[in-house]
Amino acid sequence: MNDIQQVMRDHYPGRTWADVARRDGDLPDVLALQANPAQNLRDISFSRYTDPGFFDLELERMWKRVWQFACRAEHLAEVGDYFVYDIARMSVLITRSEDGLKAFYNSCMHRGTKLKASGSCGWAGDITCPFHNWQWNLDGSLKGMPCDFEFPQVDRAKSGLVEVQVAEWNGMVFVNFDADARPLIDYLEVLPDHFRNWDLTGWYVATHVRKHLPGNWKLSMEAFMEAYHTPYVHPEMTHVVGDHNMQHDIFSDHVSRDLCAMASPSPTSRQEMSQQDLLDAMLVGDGRMVGERMKVPDGKTARWVMADQLRRQMLEKFELDYSGHSVPEMIDSLKYHLFPNLLVYPAPGLCLVQQFRPDGHDHDKSIFDQYVLHPRPLDGNFDIGEVEVIREDESFTSLESMDPFLASVLDQDTDIMRWQREGMYASGKGAETLSIYQEARIRHLHDTLDKYLEGRK
């Protein structure tokens, strides 16, 4: 155990995430790990969020070279399915061909017209330009073009769509604009090993919410990488979830995580809660999937009861056997960050994917996508949740698909993002000072970003 871990144990004796998680049994090795490498405790300049030139540098040296989540595998289940992924001004058309997944620059080889609309998905037997009707097969090879006799200079064998790297892991589809990038499995570093028992391939997108946010993509995501703000921005949450006592780990350049206990009051809460109160108020990804809350038997905790209920429901409804999963693996927020912009929560009780991207070519705006995942029904009959888009000034609570409690929390985050963005521009200091533990993963994000910007990755 290094110094910072001991500091946290000293400040929250018996109440760190690991302490809470072990109350209901031993932890699996992957959750027993702790990793907190030494960092340079420098301030982080606000220009990294507000400077359009820095934003352009990110696009050239980072976004064009990293693997980035594009969609779920169920969006591309059948031959002919397609999905368009956009990042700033760049756009990728991903298709399922007879030979598997293919991805192409979403631009016609004739005069550059977008082949499919940004943000669209669906099915098509081929890829046809809407302007002059040039056509390509799903594998990207040229199929035909009107008045082909007028293009004697075109070598049909060399006129296929320009490919983008595409790969799949754990039910998620990723793309990379760099033709020389190392394979996705290498980029994921420790993630596949950590997720060995957390298989998300049998799950699907039940709801998909997208909101336009008032700040740089890093500013928006960083609010989800620490809970230092929770007692002050989300005070109602402190009675039912951890915050300052969460565990934060940094494993490699691309992978970090935080672990937050559900149905366990924060050390900052002064409200007395019975185990039944904690169970009744427990945060889950989708309350409808859990159903009616049980009664907490004598000698048991709310956490144990919810985990047990979820195990039984997963087995009865979906034939998914979680008998070997610990209580935190079933119900806690096990939030993994994959550089640069993806958060994955694998626990059945809070199974989410969250993504943050620049909103078009605007360094000052971002797009937040949240996918709530459900297990696939045994009959195989399910509908993928269509994206519901809300503006910056619209509330998450306006969406019937959102859990009301989670929606109100996300609204609070949106409001504070706006204040933070405005304060960055108003600052006389010009930089932020981060804590050594709760905000360490934010500092690590910038450390890894610098490696790309400086050509060290």
Give me 138's structure tokens: 């799903």
Given a cut of 50, is residue 4 above it in pLDDT? yes
CA angle 57, 91, 66 (to 5 degrees): 50
Which pTM was predicted? Answer: 0.95
Assess if CATH 2.102.10.10 describes domain 68-185: yes
CA separation for the pair 128, 133 (Å, rounded) = 6
- Cα separations (Å) of 174 from 70, 93, 284? 5, 12, 27
Q: What does the pLDDT average to over 421-437?
A: 97
**Domain coordinates in residue numbering, the chain:** 3-48+197-453, 68-185
282 contacts 262 by C-beta, under 8 angstroms? yes
217 contacts 357 by C-beta, under 8 angstroms? yes
Check residue 1 and give its pLDDT. 44
Dump pLDDT digits (tens) for 25-74.
999 999 999 999 999 999 999 999 999 999 999 999 999 999 999 999 99
Dump pLDDT digits (tens) for 187-210.
999 999 999 999 999 999 999 999
Dump pLDDT digits (tens) for 378-408.
999 999 999 999 999 999 999 988 888 889 9
- Cα separations (Å) of 91 from 87, 347, 350? 6, 32, 30
- Cα separations (Å) of 290 from 171, 284, 305? 23, 8, 12
CATH of domain 3-48+197-453: 3.90.380
Given a cut of 90, is residue 88 above it in pLDDT? yes
Dump pLDDT digits (tens) for 258-316.
999 998 888 988 888 888 888 887 766 555 666 677 788 888 888 999 999 999 999 99
